[in-house]
A and B are shown apart, each in its own frame.
Chain A
Amino acid sequence: MGHSVENSTEKQKPQTKELWKVFWILLAITAVEFIIAFQISSDNNFGKWLKITLFILLTFVKSFYIVGNFMHLRHEVKSMIWTIVIPVVFVVWLLAALVYFEGGYIGSVR
């Protein structure tokens, strides 16, 4: 359908090097997350927020690899990429705005 159909009936060689590379990257990032979880102490505020920031950043790095390479979004046309990315950006924006402007409210009513 959308992708090119090959005319030759010969068997092609698998192109899987890139995919395995992404697998090892994802695995390495998860390992790093484990190291952070047990090596950085959360007992002081700095350590706690450093950990949370690192976890969120690494999670987004992982999701870029999964969505970009595994789900192939990197190789789609521009309009397709933006159709998916823009609504997600709005969700993150909403979340950030809620946490920043309204986040303290729940603490004052409970």
Chain B
Amino acid sequence: MAVAKAPLNPDHLTWQGGTQPMKVGYGKLMMWIFLLSDTFTFSALLISYGLVRFSFPTFKDVIPDMTYKTFELSQQYWPIPEKVFEAVPFLHGISLPLVFVGLMTFILIFSSVTMVLAVEAGHRRDKADVEKWMLWTILGGFTFLGSQAWEWAHFIHGSEEGSILANGAKVFGANLVQNEYGPAAFADFFFFITGFHGTHVLSGVVLNIIIFYNASNGVYEKRGHYEMVEKVGLYWHFVDLVWVFVFTFFYLV
């Protein structure tokens, strides 16, 4: 096979040879494409949230005299998030609007940093550093999941006062049919959007544990590269990215 064939294609079109399209490994490219499809899913969820939210009257449409300070929860209009999400664990009865979700945002951003540090350690093929930062990332993931479990429990359980329905009955907390915060659609979107994101975090934590396990057993050391850390890192950062959008569109706007 010493005869050198004249190339039929220019170099940049070599596909079946050694050259990788876009200079990334197959798995990494496919992870990106998967994340793109996941972007569409989350966009659909958030767009429908926006559509339904703005199709309901605001409290100003129903009671023109009401301001953000005097706001009260009612089934008649869409709630404002700072009046719904104002509880923090161990600080019962104190109104701290959005503080707990702010903390959750911080936890997730921090675990994103530790993940990217693990990826960086992988580039240096520093096994001990990869293990250390993967552990921090797993810890961050569990902390976030625990916070979300508390948030859900509190949301489902509701306040002590509850709120009064149009027929005079009282409703406490939330389920898919009715809730004390506002229209049924509000709690439905809360469960679906944060639930779908939480499921992503859970799978991310499982993937991170697998990566940590493999890294500790020297699987990637033997393979000669730590690209798996990078691929799972992409997924983990995406989960953080989605939370940034959920935080804005569900809790801030």
Contact = CB atoms under 8 A, between A and B. Distances in A.
Contacts of B120: 14-16, 19
Contact of A84 (B32, B102, B245): B32
A103 B102 CA distance: 31
B106 A14 contact: no
Contact of A43 (B24, B29, B67, B248): B67
Contacts, number: 132
Interface residues of A, number: 53
Interface string A1-40: 1110110000110111001101100110010011001100
A67 interface: yes
The dominant DSSP class at the B interface is helix
A33 B43 CA distance: 21
A34 to B, nearest CB: 6
B245 A63 contact: yes
Interface residues of B, number: 56
B177 interface: no
A66 B29 CA distance: 18
A27 B106 contact: yes
A67 B242 CA distance: 11
Interface of B: 20-25, 28-29, 32, 36, 39-40, 43, 47, 51, 54-55, 67-68, 80, 82, 97-98, 102, 105-106, 109-110, 112-113, 115-117, 119-121, 123-126, 129, 224-225, 227, 230, 233-234, 237-238, 240-241, 244-245, 248, 252-253
Interface of A: 1-3, 5-6, 11-12, 14-16, 19-20, 22-23, 26-27, 30, 33-34, 37-38, 41-43, 51-52, 55-56, 58-59, 62-63, 66-67, 69-72, 76-77, 79-80, 83-84, 87-88, 91, 95, 98, 103, 106-107, 110
